[in-house]
């Protein structure tokens, strides 16, 4: 199994963006607490193009390990290759302990979980970034329904559940051309 992974930190003010307005006065959208946030871990299966989304309170080592464990449970016994960015919690102590436990006394070719990082500061290499952008742009189109952050989160989840985004064309990503 090959998963491309990234995290999205959804903020309530993500629902606001640039909107065209035909009147001279800007439209003001009141936000009660613009600092509210929800972290989502997303994994794009390179082979099936399935997108897996799980909400977490924040991005950290513990939640990263939990998400990877859930990916393993979806594919019992399968070897997993994770391709992701260099976030500190991807390479932190919790993840190192997890990988040591998963791959103990095995050669790299036998590892149950292998991690590969994108180049530093290169979000354009990660197709999941394109999915996050599509989902947030879609949220902005539905700004009038975002009366509370709970509704914004439900809309975000709904967009994923109904696959209201396009999976990026992997031909546009040099790193994945060998898999196509």
Residue 179: phi, psi to the nearest 5? -90, -10
Q: Distance between CA atoms of 17 and 28, rounded to whole angstroms?
A: 11
Greatest extent of the chain over all pairs of C-alpha atoms, in Å: 68
Mean pLDDT of the chain: 88
Residue 78: pLDDT over 80: yes
| Per-residue pLDDT, 12 | 78
Q: Of 59, 68, 113, which Cα lies nearest the Cα of 89?
A: 59
Collapsing DSSP to helix, strand or coil, 97 comes out as: helix
pLDDT band with cut points at 50, 70 and 90 for residue 105: very high
Write the pLDDT tens digit of every residue in 132-166. 999 999 999 998 888 889 999 999 999 999 999 99
CA 65, 70, 73, 79 dihedral sign is negative
Write the pLDDT tens digit of every residue in 8-59. 999 877 776 544 455 566 656 555 565 789 999 999 999 999 999 999 999 9
Domain 2-18+25-179 -> CATH class? alpha beta
Residue carrying the six token digits 């979980």: 113
Q: Global pTM?
A: 0.87
More confident residue, 81 or 29: 81
């Amino acid at each position: 199994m090959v998963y491309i992974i990234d995290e999205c930190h959804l903020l309530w003010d993500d629902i606001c963006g640039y909107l065209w307005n035909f009147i001279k006065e800007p439209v003001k959208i009141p936000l009660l607490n613009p600092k509210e946030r929800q972290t989502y871990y997303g994994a794009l299966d390179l082979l099936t193009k399935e997108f897996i989304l799980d909400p977490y309170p924040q991005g950290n080592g513990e939640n990263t390990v939990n998400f990877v464990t859930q990916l393993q449970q979806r594919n019992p016994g399968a070897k997993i290759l994770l391709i992701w960015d260099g976030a500190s919690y991807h390479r932190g102590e919790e993840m190192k302990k997890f990988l040591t436990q998963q791959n103990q006394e095995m050669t790299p070719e036998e590892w149950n979980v292998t991690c590969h990082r994108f180049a530093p500061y290169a979000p354009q290499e990660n197709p999941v970034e394109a999915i996050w952008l599509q989902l947030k742009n879609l949220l902005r189109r539905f700004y009038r329904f975002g009366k509370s952050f709970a509704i914004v989160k439900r809309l975000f989840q709904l967009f994923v559940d109904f696959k209201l985004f396009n999976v990026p064309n992997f031909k546009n990503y040099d790193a994945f051309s060998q898999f196509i």
